[in-house]
Amino acid sequence: MNSITKLTGRVIFKGDPGYEVARKNWDPHTDRFPKVFVFAQRTKDVANAIRWARINNVPIRPRSGRHSLEPNLSQVNGGIVIDVSEMKQIKLNKKSRTVEVGTGNRVGRIVDTLARQGFIAPFGDSPTVGIGGITLGGGIGPLQRTTGLISDNLIELEMVDAKGRVIRANKNRNSDLLWASRGGGGGNFGVYTKYKFKVLRAPAKATVFSITWPWEQFEKVVKKWQKWAPNASTKLGSELSVGPKKGGNVSMLGLYLGSKTEALRQLEPILSVGTPTKKDIRLLPYIEATKFLLAPDPVLTQKFSNQFSSGFGRRPFPNKAFKIMREFLEKAEEGTPAGFYFLNWGGAIKRIAPKATAFYWRKAQFYIEWNSSWVKPSHAAKNIALTRNTRKKLNPFIVGSYINVPDQGIKCSGPVYYGKNYPRLRRVKAKYDPNNVFNNPQSIPPA
Ligand SMILES: Cc1cc2nc3c(=O)[nH]c(=O)nc-3n(C[C@H](O)[C@H](O)[C@H](O)COP(=O)(O)OP(=O)(O)OC[C@H]3O[C@@H](n4cnc5c(N)ncnc54)[C@H](O)[C@@H]3O)c2cc1C
């Protein structure tokens, strides 16, 4: 093997110390037995790993934050995992209002670093999700109606392609790759090493809220929420969760970028539904508000496995859809994080045209996902079937699906994830990875 094909960086082969820790993803049911992990320290290590994999004919999986929600995305048996999680630089340029980050950063670290310096980095519901993966699929969360998706703020990137070449993309150079990287999903075009985002000034303070209702009131609350949340001020982001019938409740978490008085006025219609058992509404310094919403979520101690599925609602659900939700929640396992999750759409997301970036589903009223969860491997099959059968039943009431919350039960998934952007994504794929070196069970085939 010559010097070009040597693996560099922190390299862990099967059987080496550290292998077991290296193969622990957030969701245990996505753990696999790869041949080798390369923890890249710099872009060159990524290039060497890709060349090595090509010469040795080993399948490649890029990995950043280990949060993939389906198997064979960021690990594969016998493959090489090119893990960028030790590439964690964060360089904020206050003057140009941009930040350059290594793709190995976790979302929470970027949010925290920027908040301390008075800037907003958009986030979802977990601080440990990798910026590497979340950006490529879109990046949704409670700030999106103000900031747009995480990927809407991506203005430049560095990626290593299938030949080990370093490619840079921005609006003037390889702009088709930038377009495809804003929602086209991870693992399709190459291994990304750097992102540059534009950033907004953070407000000094924000109002956060956490409201809980008894499970029995879920229908009332979700009905009202589906009418209220998409039409509330775009300064308000709301995540609504409904847990399993056994042991679960209804909870709403979110923020309003403004005073508590204004927030209360905005929240009034939903607070007057049912009988909330907890109402925590507080004005906090912006950095504290981000901590309130991003509860710790460590990767290595996660015990639940999950089957997720996702989609977008264009109008409030009819009673039939609530019946399907109820059946699902009655079957979901007690004491697990199973259930439904909704996020309000609109604002900055809707102002961008569906074809302007690879992220297509911009005209919806709300995002919806649901997951069944289990601990014992023998419970996997029935839970996977529960989520996927529920998708079939809910299909008349939703459109599309979110590539970052994928469901490998979806057949001919391209148009479901990407709508009318799918043909263009296949052309970009043909240009940057014509031999389909970067592939996974639902990746984009070259045109
Ligand atoms: C607890 C939890 C909470 C979540 N909350 C949200 C949320 O609020 N909002 C939201 O939008 N999503 C959320 N997600 C979904 C999340 O965005 C996706 O799972 C995302 O793909 C994870 O990225 P990662 O880098 O952590 O994962 P990984 O497992 O490392 O990678 C996921 C995918 O991206 C690819 N990938 C990763 N890094 C690179 C890279 N450098 N170059 C090329 N491809 C790469 C992988 O090959 C794989 O296909 C959540 C997931 C979990 C588990």
**Residue-range domains of the chain with CATH:** 10-83 (3.30.43.10), 90-202+420-432 (3.30.465.10), 205-397 (3.40.462.20)
Ligand 1 lining (C-beta closer than 6 Å)? 26, 61-69, 73-74, 84, 103, 124-126, 129-130, 132-134, 136-141, 186-187, 191-192, 297, 404-405, 440
Do residues 194 and 447 make contact, with C-beta atoms less than 8 angstroms apart? no
Q: What is the mean pLDDT of residues 87-101?
A: 98
Please state the φ and ψ torsions of residue 282, each to the nearest 5 degrees.
-140, 145
Report CA(108)–ligand 1 centroid distance (Å).
13
Nearest CA to ligand 1 atom 17: 134
pLDDT tier at 4, thresholds 50, 70, 90:
low
What average pLDDT does the structure give for the chain? 97
pLDDT at 5: 80
CB-CB contact of 80 with 69 (8 Å): no
Instruction: Choose one of 27, 129, 131 to mutate for the ligand 1 pocket test, by most ligand atoms within 8 angstroms of C-beta.
Output: 129
Alpha carbon nearest to ligand 1 atom 23, residue:
133
* Number of neighbours of residue 446 by Cβ within 10 angstroms: 16
Which residue's CA is minimally distant from atom 7 of ligand 1?
124
Determine the residue type at 1: M
Instruction: Give me the pLDDT at residue 1, please.
Output: 43
Q: How many CB atoms lie within 10 A of CB 93?
A: 11
* H runs (alpha helix) in 168-217: 175-181
Q: Indicate which residue's Cα is closest to atom 13 of ligand 1.
A: 124
Q: What is the pLDDT of residues 223-262, one digit of tens each?
A: 999 999 999 999 999 999 999 999 999 999 999 999 999 9
pLDDT value at 191 more than 50: yes
Q: How many CB atoms lie within 10 A of CB 274?
A: 17
Instruction: Give the model's confidence band at 105: pLDDT under 50 very low, under 70 low, under 90 confident, else very high.
Output: very high
Those residues whose C-beta lies under 8 Å from the C-beta of residue 209, and which sit 6 or more positions away, are: 252, 253, 254, 255, 256, 263, 267, 279, 280, 281, 282
In angstroms, rounded to a whole number, what is the distance separating the alpha carbons of residues 314 and 319?
15
- The first and second tokens of residue 57, run together, are 């004919």
Q: Does residue 400 have a pLDDT over 80?
A: yes
pTM of the model: 0.98
pLDDT at residue 156 greater than cutoff 70: yes
Q: Which residues contact 67 (CB under 8 A, 6 or more apart)?
A: 25, 26, 27, 126, 128, 129, 130, 133, 134, 299
Strand partners, 196: 100, 156
- 276: its two tokens: 């909330």
